[in-house]
Structure 1
Amino acid sequence: MNTTITARRKNLPPEARRAQLVDCAQTLFANKGYEATTIGDVMAMAGVSKGGFYHHFESKEALLEALAERMAVQALATIEPILEDPWLDPFTRLNRILRQLRIRKTQAAPEIGKAFDAVFQPGNVMLFDRIRRAITAIVAPAISRVIADGVAEKVFDVPDPESCVEIILHLNAAAYDAISAAMVERDRGERGPALERLYRIMEMQGIAVDRLLGLPDRSLTWIEPGTLEKLLQLPAGEASAR
């Protein structure tokens, strides 16, 4: 539950105050967008002084990073049952984890989409990389574990599972320009070549992951029809028929 309203202007323990600031940032970023939100807006909503804010966060970028970390931790909690299911083989486990992470992203998109749109704006590639690294640090160990299990069971052919996961998660950076172009297209009220190109890139990423793991092409489900429309929050009825 969001604690922003009930906790404001109260003396809170450091961790609770930090969480409250992230709550406020999440609300403001979602409603106003990241670029339009100021640190002053967050301070006012949380009822903290300038010193109180900077005790916890060095910048607005650090706030967005903390929000990304929170979401990654929440996503990790949703895949925990898959990780712990003793009846799943490593391939099925990995495929279900990827699907659950896609579901999590699409479910969160309406609430936090505006918060993260900024990382795909021109000149913000360093912010994108900062967010990507924060998420990778949280998610990578779980996926590495699954791949290591697959190597042990000869399901995957990977000499170094940890490095393999780092490469897989870094593939998202290869789609940066395509995502930016699709967002520009969306903001013009269009749905066309940029979105189609993004789908093609995502499909190629899936093939690259299969090959990294020593699997036949298109073994894993990396992207599904309609997923990008949901992530980009295109109007209902325009979902891809791919």
Structure 2
Amino acid sequence: MYCQTGSRSKNWRPVARTLNPVAHAVRRDAFVDVAQSLIQTRGYERFSLQDILDTTGASKGAFYHYFDSKAALLDAVVNRMADQAMAQVKPLLDDPSLTAPQKLQVVFGGIAQYKAERKDLVLAVMRVWLSDDNAIVREKLKRLASDRRRELLEVIVRQGIAEGSFAAARPDHVALVLDALMEGIGESAMELWIGRQDGSVTFKEVTDTFDAYLEAFERIVGVRPGSLQFLDEQALEFWFG
């Protein structure tokens, strides 16, 4: 019987496959691209995993290499939206010539602009967001969004205290409260939008709600009334008119 006993056979070891991070990201992004398009054109509940596979030409095994469920794919879509919104405002937030109140305006205005430019997608995701079937995903994404916002807000509050434009003692605590307010604004905005669609909410109720949040924001950071603005009249008309 022939038996190879050379050094090559004795020293052979299995070679681990190396992962190309760029190729991995590209393939993963392809699934997210398709999901985002289908959410916008059909709605999350109206497409299946098979629709994703048919559009991408990928196998089921390839999909599960990146995502463990359709809900995980939704998670990726919403995370991408949050990343893109932050990327849109970050250059201005890094601008040393802007004051802290101006940077808060950048956060409000930049996020509002991002959503306005993608209204169909935002509304499609919002419908999914409010569904009881997606409560676990929603809570997970809320925590992720909160972590992003709080870190950003703390940097702005620290700048405001340093330059004397904010009257606050604990920037970390202030950022925590502001973040909770921003989450509340988001939840209220969704409920108000639905109310406007079914006629149960007036436009004045919308503006009064935003004014109340704005007043709370201004008091917490210690600026004079009227110093900040969430949405201008044009933006309010765009979403709630």
TM-score range, shorter chain: 0.7 to 0.9
How far apart are the structure 1 equivalents of 2:183 and 2:98? 30
Look up the match of 2:223. 215
Structure-2 change in CA distance of 1:51 and 1:127 (3 Å): same
Q: How does 1:137-156 map to 2 (within 5 A)?
A: 137-156=147-166
How far apart are the structure 2 equivalents of 1:181 and 1:80? 28
2:46 alignment partner, SS class? coil
* Contact 2:49–2:70 (CA under 8 A) maintained in structure 1: yes
Identity %: 25
Look up the match of 2:14. none
Look up the match of 1:161. 171
Deviations 1:101-134 (A, max 9, x none): 2111211213442133221245655443333323
Deviations 1:123-175 (A, max 9, x none): 65544333332333334333321211111122112333234333323324435
TM-score when normalising by structure 2: 0.77
How far apart are the structure 1 equivalents of 2:70 and 2:204? 33
How far apart are the structure 2 equivalents of 1:225 and 1:124? 33
Gaps of 5+ in 2: 1-21
How far apart are the structure 2 equivalents of 1:202 and 1:52? 45
How far apart are the structure 1 equivalents of 2:159 and 2:188? 34
1:179 equivalent to 2:187? Answer: no
Deviations 1:70-128 (A, max 9, x none): 12222222212312222222222222332222111211213442133221245655443
* Contact 1:72–1:139 (CA under 8 A) maintained in structure 2: no
- Number of equivalenced pairs: 219
1:55 alignment partner, SS class? helix
Question: C-alpha root-mean-square deviation of aligned residues, in Å?
Answer: 2.6
* Contact 2:153–2:178 (CA under 8 A) maintained in structure 1: no
1:65 CA displacement: 2.0
More displaced 10-residue stretch of structure 1: 219-228 or 122-131 = 122-131
1:21 equivalent to 2:31? Answer: yes
Look up the match of 2:214. 206
Structure-2 change in CA distance of 1:68 and 1:231 (3 Å): farther
* Contact 1:90–1:155 (CA under 8 A) maintained in structure 2: yes
AA in 1 matched with 2:175: V
Structure-2 change in CA distance of 1:162 and 1:44 (3 Å): farther
More displaced 10-residue stretch of structure 1: 58-67 or 135-144 = 135-144
Look up the match of 1:83. 93
- Pick one of 50, 54, 73 that aligns with 1:40: 50
Structure-2 change in CA distance of 1:77 and 1:87 (3 Å): same
Rg larger for: 2
Look up the match of 2:9. none
AA in 2 matched with 1:119: W
1:194 CA displacement: 5.5
- Pick one of 69, 89, 106 that aligns with 2:116: 106
* Contact 1:34–1:114 (CA under 8 A) maintained in structure 2: yes
How far apart are the structure 1 equivalents of 2:160 and 2:183? 26
How far apart are the structure 2 equivalents of 1:34 and 1:194? 29
How far apart are the structure 2 equivalents of 1:195 and 1:62? 36
Gaps of 5+ in 1: 1-11, 233-238
1:227 equivalent to 2:238? Answer: no
Deviations 1:198-237 (A, max 9, x none): 43222211111112112233321023224244346xxxxx
